[in-house]
Amino acid sequence: MATNGPAKDTFTSTCCYCGVGCGVTVKKEKDGSVSVAGNPEYPVNRGMLCSKGLNLQYTVNDQSDRLLYPQMRYNRSMPRQRVSWDEALQRTAAVFKTFIEKYGPDSVAFYASGQCLTEEYYVINKLIKGFIGSNNLDTNSRLCMSSAVVGYKMALGEDSVPVCYDDIELADCFYVTGANPAWCHPILWRRVEAHKAANPATKIIVVDPRVTDTCALADLHLQLTPGTDVVLNHAIGRALIENGDIDLAFINDHAEGFEQYKQVVFERTLAEAARICGVPEEQIRLAAQYIGSAKGFISMWTMGLNQSAVGVDKNLSLLNLNLITGQIGKPGAGPLSLTGQPNAMGGREVGGLSNLLPAHRNLANPAHRAEVQQFWGGTTLSDKPGLTATEMFEALNDGRLKAIWIICTNPLTSLPNVRLAEEALKKAKFVVVQDISNKPETLAYADVILPAAAWAEKEGTMTNSERRISHLAKVVDAPGEALPDAEIICRFARTMGYPGFNYDSPAAIYREHARLTAGTNLDISGLSYSVLQEKGSVQWPYKVGQKDLGTPRLFVDNIFYTPSKKAIIHATPVSFRSEEPDEDFPFILTTGRIRDQWHTMSKTGKVNKLKKHISQAFLEIHPQDAPRLGIVENDLVEVESRRGKVRVQARLTSNIKPGVVFLPMHWGKILGNDLNRANNVTSGAFDPISKEPDFKYCAVRVDKYRKP
């Protein structure tokens, strides 16, 4: 595929790590390497970059781990051999056709990534849903944002973040829950820090079982017991109602469900809630007081709420706080979910999850399916929801799924209860791995390996956490025979004999995707590719005739996307579905990220500078718990659950609650040793609606490691 733009040596792009989506300039140096700097004109970061963004160039310049050419094997006892692209794609197409004919279209699946560009997502989605006839496309976004997606849809009628980052400077109260943005969304957090420094009366409430760097800025830290978020949010809701700090005009005119909500939050006194959550009652009252007296209130959250067996309930209970106070649809107010991956939003926009259709259309809606089928001109769209991330690996294990194509993600580090996923790939009849690196553990199971182009080696668009669509330029050629992911998928689709995949550029895919959004709530049919390139970034929706920089804020007219046009206040019941600690496994394990690594370290792990912050996996344990287990600082400890074991060094810290332990999620198998991998022990539980796994809560035991 041709890429756009005249010959030049400096390009604009977007950081390929977190969903903050910082703008960068990428310079192609004379020796062929690239240098990267923060783009001072970009509205998100105004030139700033965090430690990961500042080291982006190393991931492009160091090509020592790159996959360079397609490889294949006919049976698993043979070594893989280098083959041509045609040979690899013809074999893959033949195998896929055989399975589809013999077992039906649901016997194959694609498992992709929130790092894919929007155009890549679009063609994968079109291929599997529009032509193969299955909805078996899911991505690792299922592991991080799907509870937030469901929460938005249930409360606001659409998966739509109402606010923009510029609201940060207009708010005077932040409720940051289940997130450590100081480490995981650093540039956004720097904007909050700067705002607080300039406006010291701004109140910051942090809710987290751990004392994180984010807490350094907090006026109030609610160190709750893991899993009690709904109780806490309801208690704050009750206090707001008791104090009269709710917006009755908004509730009466623009929301539904308040009376039922009131009944649910009054089921428990604040004293009872305080006891359940493990936080003082006065702190709950103070949080309510801060929120209730705010002119502009922003709630911020990420995995601590989403990655839970009650993730949707947690999201709804949080959204309720914005709704009962009328803190939505106005400057400096609203819910702001922080996205873990750079393009999880873009993926959802094109329908890149197993239960979605393009432009947030609903798979269950026959009219929506017909509309998309007519547009694509392919097969009748299946009404059966596809397999989600974890379900795909279950289906490989029990034989329902025969073939899986894994794109740009590393499930053997990132999936919960990961040994099940290993078993699944062993049992799979056919595995395709499309990646940039020769490191992911999945490669050991691959029948076909397809080398992909990396960031800065391909062109396209992404959408960040504030609905900002940005253009990423191609700067350098991919090494060897590596190809952009969209080109690989289109070549495969043509090999399968499907029409409609003859795009001459990523811009052509974008244009088709934009046309398909016309008339929907995320309409970008007015945003041409050249306008996007020229403006650098634009926030959706952007309808035909629009000339500005898009739509920074949704629901300014208090009209929501629900059938009644009102927001829904859900009377979320308090339930608990995680694995409870017991005598054998007495600790609660929670997992999370560290400052200088990203996901499974396939890129950040290559950068020596980034390893200096924290170089190896560890277990955080409270100094009250460690001595009775005979554990001192830096001891090797074993963390064991009903599913497996981890062996790492202990870090004694009173930053965590007694009875709770913490493992970072980044480490996988290193030199054959998989005992650093947190997901050896995490639970297979997931939210019943969002199907997002419960990474933040399972029962483990901890022992000092003694050599046998």
Chosen residue from 15, 206, 359, 685 binding ligand SF4 by CB under 6 A: 15
Among 50, 123, 392, 443, binds ligand SF4 (CB under 6 A): 50
One residue of 18, 149, 482, 621 binding ligand SF4 per CB under 6 A: 18
**Beta carbon of residue 45, minimum distance to ligand SF4 (angstroms, whole number):** 6
* CA–CA gap between residue 258 and residue 446 (Å, rounded): 52
Minimum CB separation of residue 152 from ligand SF4 in Å reads 22
Cα–Cα distance between 440 and 191 in angstroms, integer?
35
Instruction: Enumerate the β-bridge partners of residue 375.
Output: none
CB of 14 to ligand SF4, least distance (A): 7
User: DSSP letter at 242?
Assistant: H
Say if CB 130 and CB 376 are below 8 A apart.
yes
42 binds ligand SF4 (CB under 6 A): no
Annotate each residue in 579-618 with x if it binds ligand SF4 (CB under 6 A) or - if it does not, as one string: ----------------------------------------
Indicate the residue among 51 and 546 with the shorter CB distance to ligand SF4. 51
- The smaller minimum CB distance to ligand SF4, of residues 20 and 287, is found at 20
Q: Is 49 in the site for ligand SF4 (CB under 6 A)?
A: yes
Are 644 and 419 spatial neighbours (Cβ–Cβ below 8 Å)? Answer: yes
| Residue nearer to ligand SF4 on the CB measure, 175 or 189 | 189
Largest Cα–Cα separation, the chain: 72
Asked if residue 554 binds ligand SF4 (CB under 6 A), the reply is no
Q: From the CB of 31, what's the least distance to ligand SF4, in Å?
A: 25
- The minimum distance between CB 284 and ligand SF4, in angstroms, equals 31
One residue of 25, 26, 36, 52 binding ligand SF4 per CB under 6 A = 52
Strands (E), 128-208: 137-139, 173-177, 203-207
Shortest approach of ligand SF4 to residue 53 CB, angstroms?
A: 2
Rounded least distance, CB 277 to ligand SF4, Å: 30
Q: Which is nearer to ligand SF4, 165 or 430 (CB)?
A: 165
Residue type for position 115: Q
Q: How far is the CB of 342 from ligand SF4 (least distance, A)?
A: 7
d(CA 259, CA 264): 9
Which residues face 205 on adjacent strands? Answer: 175, 220
Contact flag: residue 503 with ligand SF4 (CB under 6 A): no
Which span (19-27, 142-150, 198-206, 622-630) binds ligand SF4, by CB under 6 A? Answer: 19-27
Task: Give CA–CA dist 426/435, Å, rounded.
Answer: 19
Amino acid letter at 23?
G
CA 216, 220, 224, 229 dihedral sign is negative
At CA 419, angle to CA 415 and CA 425, rounded to 5? Answer: 85
Q: In what order do the strands lie in the sheet with 220-222?
A: 220-222, 203-207, 173-177, 297-301, 334-337
Block residue for tokens 């195998």: 95
Three-state SS at 460: strand
Q: Residues near 671 by Cβ (< 8 Å), separated by ≥ 6?
A: none
Min. distance of Cβ 19 from ligand SF4 in angstroms? 7
Cβ 338 to ligand SF4, closest distance in Å? 10
> Of 91 and 595, which CB lies nearer to ligand SF4 in the complex structure?
595
Site for ligand SF4 in 223-282 (CB under 6 A): none
Shortest distance, position 15 Cβ to ligand SF4, whole Å: 3
Token pair of 336 as six digits:
């702001």
CB-wise, 18 or 328, nearer to ligand SF4? 18
Taking the C-alpha atoms of residue 671 and residue 334, their distance in angstroms, rounded to an integer, is 46
DSSP 8-class letter at 458: S
* Three-state DSSP state, 222: strand
Work out how close the CB of 301 gets to ligand SF4 at its nearest, in angstroms, rounded to a whole number: 16
Residue 474 in contact with ligand SF4, rule: CB under 6 A: no
Angle at the Cα of 240 (from 238 to 245), degrees rounded to 5?
A: 150
* Residue 60 binds to ligand SF4 (criterion: CB under 6 A): no
Question: For residues 220 and 538, which CB has a smaller minimum distance to ligand SF4 in the complex?
Answer: 538
Q: Specify burial of residue 383 (Cβ count, 10 A radius: 0-12, 13-18, 19+).
A: exposed
Rule CB under 6 A: which of 611-640 touch ligand SF4?
A: none
Contact in structure between 122 and 114 (CB atoms under 8 Å): no
Pull the structure tokens for residue 117.
Answer: 């560009």
Cβ proximity to ligand SF4, 479 vs 536, nearer residue: 536
- Quick one: 59 or 139, whose CB is closer to ligand SF4? 59
Return the residue nearest ligand SF4 (CB atom). 53
Give the nearest distance from C-beta 75 to ligand SF4 in angstroms. Answer: 42
Contact map string, positions 175 to 214, toward ligand SF4, x by CB under 6 A: ----------xxx---------------------------
If one asks whether residue 20 binds ligand SF4 (CB under 6 A), the answer comes out as yes
Alpha helices in 433-543 (DSSP H): 485-495, 506-516, 529-535
For residues 464 and 93, give the distance between their C-alpha atoms in angstroms, rounded to a whole number. 34
# chain residues binding ligand SF4, by CB under 6 A: 14
Residue 391 CA to residue 403 CA, distance in Å, equals 13
Name the minimum Å distance from CB 186 to ligand SF4: 5
Residue closer to ligand SF4 by CB (options 17, 587) is: 17
In 442-563, which residue ranges form alpha helices assigned H by DSSP? 485-495, 506-516, 529-535
Residue number with CB closer to ligand SF4 (44 or 279): 44
Judged by CB under 6 A, the residue of 11, 17, 58, 96 near ligand SF4 is: 17
Distance of CA 154 to the CA centre of its chain: 19
Stretch that binds ligand SF4, among 17-25, 26-34, 116-124, 328-336 (CB under 6 A): 17-25
Candidates 11, 12, 21, 618: give the one binding ligand SF4 (CB under 6 A): 21
Cβ count within 10 A of residue 388: 24
The piece of 15-23, 159-167, 231-239, 600-608 that touches ligand SF4 (CB under 6 A) is: 15-23
Q: Which residues have a Cβ under 8 Å from the Cβ of 274 and sit 6 or more positions away?
A: 235, 280, 281, 283, 284
Torsion of CA 269, 290, 210, 602, to 10 degrees: 130
Task: Of 259, 372, 302, give the one whose Cα is nearest residue 145.
Answer: 302
For residues 485 and 452, is the Cβ–Cβ distance under 8 A? yes
Interacting residue ranges for ligand SF4, rule: CB under 6 A: 15, 17-18, 20-22, 45, 49-50, 52-53, 185-187
